[in-house]
Homo-oligomer: A and B are copies of this chain.
Amino acid sequence: MFNFEFQNPTKLVFGRGQIARLAELIDKDTKVMLVFGGGSVKTNGVYDQVKEALKDHQTVEFWGIESNPAVETVREAVKLGLEEKVDMLLAVGGGSVSDATKCIAAGIAMPEVDPWDMVVSYSAKKQIPFATVMTMPATGSEMNNGAVISNRTLCQKLAFRGAYPVFSILDPETTYSIPSYHIACGLADIVVHCFEQYMTTTGQSRVLDRWAEGVIATVMEIAPQIRENKTDYALMSDYMFAATMGLNNFIRMGVTQDWVTHQIGHELTAMHGITHGESLAMVYCGTVEHLREQKKGKLLQFGERVLGITEGTEDERIDATIAGIEAFFKSLGLATRLSDKGLGVETADEVARRLNARGVHLGEAKNVTGDVAREILLKRL
């Protein structure tokens, strides 16, 4: 293992009825800005639970965080938070709301810095405290220190790092009303998060290899069952818990990572509005196919341990492993090729141009330039 430092201070409050605990989790004299997306929390009862729990607190509401949250919206929320002199933020919703809240928390703490400059610098040096009520498992944002923000004007989507949520409440019952397509995208997102922390040089950490494999195997096991029954508490608990454990920095301690698929996927989202999880399903098999020599050891290990692929030559087993991963994404009903979304070579060219313009060298081996990203996408036409 490489030298590492790890500290994740987020308090996780998991289970039925836990939203009511907001009343004690937040000090009575704290003025809280509640940050919401669209209206789904009004129809699924979460809004009412939050308001009831905080009925003795001073609260302000900000509505309208969109999918792939925009810095333009963040700026409006920062303005409201500053005007209202709020002490703390509470994100109520999915990963987009949580990510936006992290950026708003920085904007309020550093009113002299434009939020986009903070995103571009990749690091929020100061944030007011924030917490989450997570209702859409996928991003792990409820227990990590990262966020991804889009800039509509510049048509860009970039990640930054800062503080962790003070606490996050996860009630699996809040997931019962998530539309099936969004669950599918969430499941794909969880799996690719684990892959990007796992599909690297072999032999770095025996424990974390198995932990990443364990989260992926879990998601692959529950996905078809969730399709049949979205209101099974045990099943939705496993789903919600897998999302948090997949990206709370646990499985990346002391090992290398490789976020190529996410970075290419972000471009597809920025350019064509593809939902994040689906963008990953479209790119991932291209990444491992193009880098199959570099990722050979892990592909073989994953194939054997998780997919049970033990027969054939190494090349045949790698082919079967990549096919197995693609079959999983397809089983979710997601696009796995550019053409599934009416995209083609011109998209690959444009991604190459954009990444080359930023001069990136992505991935574990820093060998994925814009041109290599193009090759990856050409494998997914």
Contacts and interface: CB of A to CB of B under 8 A. Distances in A.
Interface string A1-19: 1111111111111111110
Interface stretch (A121-129, A234-242, A334-342): A234-242
Interface in A207-266: 207-211, 213-215, 217-218, 221-222, 234, 237-238, 241-242, 245, 250, 253-254
B12 A7 contact: yes
Contacts of A245: 207
Contacts of A67: none
Interface residues of A, number: 44
Contacts of A215: 207, 210
A189 to B, nearest CB: 16
Contacts of A12: 4-7, 253
A313 to B, nearest CB: 23
Contacts of A211: 210-211, 214
Contact of A15 (B3, B205, B208, B213): B3
B16 A205 contact: no
19 contacts: A1-B14, A1-B172, A1-B234, A3-B16, A3-B18, A5-B11, A5-B12, A6-B12, A6-B14, A7-B9, A7-B12, A205-B241, A206-B222, A207-B245, A210-B213, A210-B214, A214-B214, A241-B254, A250-B250
Interface of A: 1-18, 167, 172, 203, 205-211, 213-215, 217-218, 221-222, 234, 237-238, 241-242, 245, 250, 253-254
